[in-house]
Structures are given as C-alpha cells and as structure tokens.
C-alpha cells in the first residue's frame, strides 16, 4: 500500500472530471490513438491476456482468455456488451466510474471493441442510475463529435457505435446471458450453456460481455503494459495450479457500520481488516465488527476472526465464502443480529429469482418462509438444518441451476448458519421457548398480525 498509486480513481476529484476537456487534459484518448496506429487487435488481446486481468464483475474469469474464445474467422458482426447493471447489494464502484470519469470507461470500451473486432457496443445500464445515464450519454456524444466513435475512428479502418440500453431493475440481468436476452427485448431468463456468448451471443452472433471496471482496467493495461499491471496484486499460489493470480488494482466499496463509507481503490491482496481500518475509518461508534460481507451480498460472511484474509480472488474462498465477488464490503457491528442479515438476504434472492430453474425458484422461496417463521418466533432448531439442506442443493456448483443466482442465495445462508449457529440457536430458543425442540412439521405463518412481547412472540387473529 505504501507505494500504491491509484489509477482508476485518479481523476475523479478534478473539476468537471466527467467532461471530454478534463479527460483529454490528463492524456485521455492518447492510448487509443497509439493503439490504433501501432497495435493490431491480436496484440491488444495478447497484452490483456499477459496482464492476468480477471473480470471485476464477480466471477473473476481471465479477460484475455475470454476474448480468445471468439471465432477467429467469423465474418461478423461481433458485439461487445458492457455490463453496467451493478445490482449486487453493497456494490457501487461502477457507478462512481460512470458518473465521475465516463470517458475512461469509454476509452476502455473502444480499446476492447478494437481488440475483439466488435463494431457495436451496448452499455447495459442499471435503471436506477439516472446521473450515470446523463453523464455517459454526454460522454458518448462528445466522443462522436471528437472522432473517437463512429466511422473510421481517428482516420483508421476501425469503426464503432456505442448505445446505452437501460435495464428495468432486475438483478438477474447482471448474468451475462440474461443481459443479452434483455437487450434483445425478451424476458431476461439466462440461457443454458453451451453455446457460450463468445460463440453465440447477442442476436446469435459472437459477443463479449465485460463489466465497467474490467474495461477501465484495459485502458491502463494498454497504456502502461502488462508487466506494470502484474506488479500490483498477488501472484499465483505455488500449490494451486488452477490459480492464475490476482493482479492489478481493484475498486472496493465499503458500507455498513463504518465511519467513512465510500468507494476506494487498493491493490488486490489487501486484507479485509486494512480496508475497514485504513479506508473505512474503522467500525463506527467505537464498536467491534461482528461480521463482514467481503464482496457483495452473494459472497456470504466473514466472521470477526477472519478479517485478516487477503482480498483477492482466492482469499475469501479459503474462509468459506463464494469468492471476492464485486469487492462490495459490508460491515456489521457487534450489535447487529445475524437473523436480520439472514432474513434480508433470503428476501432479496427470493424476490430476484427469475423462476426459470425449479431448485432456485422453490429453494429461495421456502428458505424465506422458514426464516420469516424463525424471525416471528416460531422457529425450531431443525430449521437451521433445513436451511443448510436447501443451500447445499441449489446452484451451479451442485449442478442444479442454469445461472449462479442460486449460489448467491445459498452462500449467505451457509456462512451465516455455520459461522453464527450459536447465536441463531439462542435466538430460536429465546423466541420460541416451548417449541424450539419440535421436529415435526409446523404450520406456516397465518395471516394474522404478530406482536413482540419481551422474549416471546404472540399472534393475534
């Protein structure tokens, strides 16, 4: 951290940082000029591949490898989809880039389109980002006027058109094939794979889908080189042949019970504790952390004694989390009840499940009903085992669903119950002292109203 120099957020505090004039004043679009003049598309792909850049949208798939899946002899068209949906709870790093430095995003998009031979790019924008919409559209208009977009960009043979497509606020559209279906005007149901989008994507043509932060990194890789990018972050684990390393800078969003919530840039591999203390200003009100979401709600929970974990693509996995995710860190202090976290996460994923896959549709719904009953004072100890059974049997990882939404729903349940079981059992015993040992099926919540009285819950018809 001592020698780290932010690059992705370097310009956001400059006056009018969202304008073309401010961006060009810092050398903006000079990398594009040089690439079009000196580099072939294959050379750009090779540089990105050598850099070890992994997707910042959650999955962490190597970007250059993803680009190489495009068929080399395809006559076109080839499409580039920019995933700006950003609906993972706790995540707002793409929003910062689009609102405060949209031309950096555009230059990365243009360079990526050049590398992949795409002639049309669609920016799939979260509907709840009205300022990002205005700033991006103004930046696109400025780029067209300056010759950075359109036909024969900067006198080269490369042409590119960029369009903004607004989503309708559905979490499922963050999944790349759900996003593609939405752009095509269909219900955003993720597609079964294969074929993968690189072979058959948007309008059944080869398509690359990358998120905003990933494409912003491409700009700096082409500008400074793959070797520079690999000096930041964490090299591959010597005992894990499947680990390609975690290289480059990363945007981390810190929210929840901290003194300075916000979006911060740090090298991959920084510890979760250092993120909270150095950037977040520590836990608020002089309290201690009880649990931390390391990378957006779907990644699950770290306990207080796991906060020294490195925030790279491997670290959170070693502590039982789904992965680094988007880098959206949510801090919960020692007074926050884990049952509230469990209820909020189950409610979110049950609402956002598209319903295409039965295990996800039914599993998220039944998990929410069980947690609601526990929260209302009718919980049983066996309910925690039922929730774990649901969580262990839905998702791509057990092979029961098309997309990873169910995995995202499962990991908050798995980590909350396995790491905080004692607290959850105590809650059940306190709120249902006469029924927590029951193992037989119990009635669902009725339509009456429920009122809390001390440590027990009473129901009134």
The pair of three-digit structure tokens given for residue 387, joined into one six-digit string: 């929730």
Helix (H, G, I), strand (E, B) or coil at 427: helix
Return the half-sphere exposure (C-beta side, CA atoms, 13 A cut-off) of residue 392.
9
Peptide bond before residue 194 is cis, with ω within 30 degrees of 0: yes
Helix (H, G, I), strand (E, B) or coil at 203: helix
Q: Which of 257, 269, 277, 407 is nearest to 330 (CA)?
A: 257
Distance in angstroms (rounded) separating the CA atoms of residues 323 and 6: 24
User: What pTM was computed for the model?
Assistant: 0.92
Percent helix, strand, coil in the chain, to 5, is 45, 15, 40
Distance in angstroms (rounded) separating the CA atoms of residues 404 and 396: 6
Distance in angstroms (rounded) separating the CA atoms of residues 176 and 41: 23
Number of Cβ within 10 Å of residue 177's Cβ equals 24
Q: How far apart are the first and last CA of the chain?
A: 59
Tens of each residue's pLDDT in the chain, 461 residues? 567 899 999 999 999 999 999 999 999 999 999 999 999 999 999 999 999 999 998 889 999 999 999 998 898 899 999 999 999 999 999 999 999 999 999 999 999 999 999 999 999 999 999 999 999 999 999 999 999 999 999 999 999 999 999 998 899 999 999 999 999 999 999 999 999 999 999 999 999 999 999 999 999 999 999 999 999 999 998 888 888 999 999 999 999 999 999 999 999 999 999 999 999 999 999 999 999 999 999 999 999 999 999 999 999 999 999 999 999 999 999 999 999 999 999 999 999 999 999 999 999 999 999 999 999 999 999 999 999 999 999 999 999 999 999 999 999 999 999 999 999 999 999 999 999 999 998 887 875 444 443 333 433 32
146: left (phi over 0), alpha (psi -120 to 50) or beta: alpha
Torsion sign across C-alpha atoms 362, 364, 365, 370 = positive
């Amino acid at each position: 951290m001592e020698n780290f120099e932010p690059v992705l957020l370097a310009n956001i505090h400059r006056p009018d940082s969202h304008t073309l004039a401010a961006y060009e004043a810092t050398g903006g679009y000079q990398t594009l000029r040089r690439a079009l003049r000196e580099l072939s598309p294959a050379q750009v792909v090779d540089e990105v591949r050598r850099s070890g850049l992994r997707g910042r949208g959650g999955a962490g798939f190597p970007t250059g490898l993803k680009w190489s899946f495009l068929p080399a002899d395809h006559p076109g068209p080839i499409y580039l989809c920019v995933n700006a949906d950003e609906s993972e709870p706790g995540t707002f790093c793409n929003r910062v880039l689009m609102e405060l430095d949209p031309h950096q995003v555009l230059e990365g998009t243009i360079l990526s389109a050049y590398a992949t031979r795409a002639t049309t790019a669609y920016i799939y924008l979260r509907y709840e980002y009205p300022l990002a919409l205005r700033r991006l559209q103004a930046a696109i208009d400025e780029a067209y006027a300056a010759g950075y977009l359109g036909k024969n960009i900067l006198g080269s043979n490369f042409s590119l058109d960029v369009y903004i497509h607004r989503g309708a606020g559905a979490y499922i559209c963050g999944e790349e094939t759900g996003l593609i279906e939405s752009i095509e005007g269909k219900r955003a149901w993720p597609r079964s794979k294969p074929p993968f989008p690189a072979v058959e994507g948007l309008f059944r043509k080869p398509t690359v889908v990358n998120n905003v932060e990933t494409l912003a990194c491409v700009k700096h890789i082409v500008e400074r080189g793959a070797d520079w990018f690999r000096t930041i972050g964490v090299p591959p684990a010597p005992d894990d042949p499947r680990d390609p390393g975690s290289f480059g800078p990363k945007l981390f969003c810190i929210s929840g019970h901290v003194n300075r919530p916000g979006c911060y840039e740090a090298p991959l591999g920084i510890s979760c504790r250092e993120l909270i203390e150095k950037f977040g200003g520590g836990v608020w009100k002089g309290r201690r952390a009880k649990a931390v979401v390391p990378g957006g709600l779907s990644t699950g929970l770290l306990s207080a004694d796991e906060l020294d974990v490195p925030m790279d693509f491997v670290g959170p996995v070693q502590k039982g989390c789904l992965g680094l995710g988007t880098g959206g860190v949510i801090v919960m202090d020692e007074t926050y009840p884990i049952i509230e976290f469990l209820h909020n996460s189950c409610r979110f994923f049950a609402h956002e499940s598209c319903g295409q896959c039965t295990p996800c549709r039914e599993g998220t719904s039944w998990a929410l009903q069980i947690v609601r009953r526990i929260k209302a004072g009718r919980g049983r100890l066996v309910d925690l085992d039922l929730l774990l059974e649901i969580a262990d049997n839905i998702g791509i990882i057990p092979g029961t669903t098309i997309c990873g939404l169910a995995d995202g729903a499962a990991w908050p349940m798995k980590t909350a119950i396995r790491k905080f079981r004692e607290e959850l059992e105590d809650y059940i015993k306190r709120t249902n002292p006469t029924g927590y040992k029951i193992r037989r099926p119990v009635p669902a919540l009725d339509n009456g109203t429920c009122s809390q009285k001390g440590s027990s819950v009473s129901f009134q018809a």
